[in-house]
Chains A and B, each alone.
Chain A
Amino acid sequence: MSGSVLFDAPGPNAIRRSRIMSIVFAVAAVAAVALAVYQLWLGGAFYQDRWDIFSDERLWFGARGLLFGLGTTLSIAGIAAVGAIVLGVVFSILRNAYSRWVRIPTTVVLEFFRGMPVLLMMLFILIVFASGAYWAVVWALIVYNGAIIGEALRAGMASLPKGQRESGLAIGLTPLRTTLEIELPQAFRIMLPIILAQLIVLLKDTSLGYIVGSEEMLRIGRQLVDFYDREGGPYALSMFFVMLAIYLAVNLSLSAIVRWLHKRVSRPRKGGPNLDGTKTEAIPVSTTAIRAQRTADTDGPPQPPGAGGTLGG
């Protein structure tokens, strides 16, 4: 349901009223922002001496410059994303195992991992395994997000028509190969937007490395503020804005990709060409699975994905 159904196509009076309210509110919002900016300006936030460090090459390209921090952030996120997907696949297979001696412990462990803060896991790995901050962050993100992606893949597999598994078994594939070659690829396709949204959450969570001491962007930024600090730290605000801009640029562009993918995946696919080039009428299974998943709520149906995650943690 789009917002537009909630109200009529406005008539002349309503248009005028809505326009007036719009203008009043816009003026109020702009005034609030302007007041804040003015206050900041009075405080000297826009003086050259608050921003001059950003023209210093060393701040960006230095051995421990902002780009080094961004690189660390992205490399943590990259390694952890790959690891989390691999672990998620393993978890989802174990979670669906025939033997309850595998299935039930996996379920308990997954609940355990998903129920605790990822920061606690980082500290745990840092202190108990003495792995160093970088790898503590990487491993904690792998385990935590692996558990979440594992659950997502399981829900995706549960939403497939039963016939998929049955026909896989019927043509003589082992249960494991049925899962790996028939169910998982389809589940992955259905859940792709949700998995990618989770990977954006993962990217945001790399900033927790600030607390455990990995040298990701936020920590580097703080060190730079302290380094350039003169009487009372005039650079904290400008550094905050620069880091905010970098995070928003990275996350929003990833979010846009996720949204585009979501649109692509949920659009009903047309039948591909036959071998002789003619059009086929067959509806690919994953499309029916997506439709089934929309109506049925059998086993925790996957939620629509949001950019930046739906839950925020």
Chain B
Amino acid sequence: MQAIFENLPLWLQGMGMTLMLTGVVTLIGLPIGILLAGMRVSPVAALRVVAAIWTEVARNTPLTLVFFFTAFVLPKLGFIFDFTLGAILALTYYTSAFFAEAVRSGINSVPIGQAEASRSIGLGFGQTMGLVVLPQAFRSVLPPLINVVIALTKNTSVAMGFFVFVLTSVAQRLANVYGDQALEVFIGIALSYLIITVPLGQLVDHLERKWSVQR
């Protein structure tokens, strides 16, 4: 543990990058995910197909391979940018698909009668979604969305292999310098992740209990 306290600026740097990646990717990825989910239930077939392909491909590609693309392939094609931006791109592409699936399963959790009722009083697709289904889907969607953010927090660690300095990189560097304290360093960094993920998990439990409705 001492090794971490002696290198607090390094830890702060890694923590800051991890939090920044998580925050930025959530801010960009969530709207994309909601859009994709909306496309997947829309009446327009082409939208459905494009959204389905996007989510299925993203979910079945290893995140490391996506990073490989942004870090090694894009620069060869002439798109040269900062590795941090590359990490944001990779994580956003990957995570948006999981956001989309969480939103879609939330939409599917709204009882069918709600949509039928709003259709039968003459509301259109946009009105049915906006006024009836999505407001109800919101509370069943939020817990899974937070779960995706938790997974995202852990996934930011992959950026370490592609030249971005995140918390996991702190562990590796300190464990190499302080060989005798390696165990403590790793436990300390693991706890650093838990500081982020455990409160989020608690929030999920709380929301699920508070909002669980008997249908």
Residues of A within 8 A of B (CB): 1, 3, 5-8, 10, 14, 18, 21-23, 25-26, 29, 40, 43, 45, 111-112, 115-120, 123-124, 127-128, 200, 204-208, 210-211, 218, 222, 225, 232-234, 236-237, 240, 243-244, 247-248, 251-252, 255, 297, 300, 303-304, 306-313
Cα separation A242 to B147 with both chains bound (whole Å): 32
Cα separation A21 to B148 with both chains bound (whole Å): 32
Assess A123 versus B65: contact at CB under 8 Å? Given A1-B111, A5-B119: no
Assess whether A3 is in contact with B190, with CB atoms less than 8 Å apart.
no
* 13 further A-B pairs in the complex, CB-CB below 8 A; given A120-B157, A207-B64: A1-B109, A1-B112, A8-B119, A115-B194, A117-B155, A117-B157, A120-B167, A127-B172, A204-B62, A218-B62, A308-B60, A311-B151, A312-B151
Assess A25 versus B44: contact at CB under 8 Å? Given A6-B128, A123-B171, A312-B94: yes
Assess whether A6 is in contact with B41, with CB atoms less than 8 Å apart.
yes
Cα separation A207 to B69 with both chains bound (whole Å): 13
Interface size class, chain B: 35 or more
Cα separation A225 to B73 with both chains bound (whole Å): 11
Cα separation A36 to B102 with both chains bound (whole Å): 30
6 residue pairs of the A-B complex, CB under 8 angstroms, read A6-B129, A14-B43, A18-B44, A22-B45, A25-B47, A232-B76
Q: Which of A120, A127, A233, A234 contacts B190 (CB 8 A)?
A: A120
Assess whether A111 is in contact with B198, with CB atoms less than 8 Å apart.
yes
Please indicate the chain B residues that have their CB under 8 angstroms from the CB of A8 in the complex. Answer: 119
Please indicate the chain B residues that have their CB under 8 angstroms from the CB of A25 in the complex. Answer: 44, 46-47, 50
B158 within 8 A of A: yes
Q: Which of B60, B125, B160, B208 contacts A6 (CB 8 A)?
A: B125
Assess A251 versus B101: contact at CB under 8 Å? Given A6-B128, A22-B46, A311-B150: no
> Which chain A residue has the least Cβ–Cβ distance from B98?
A312
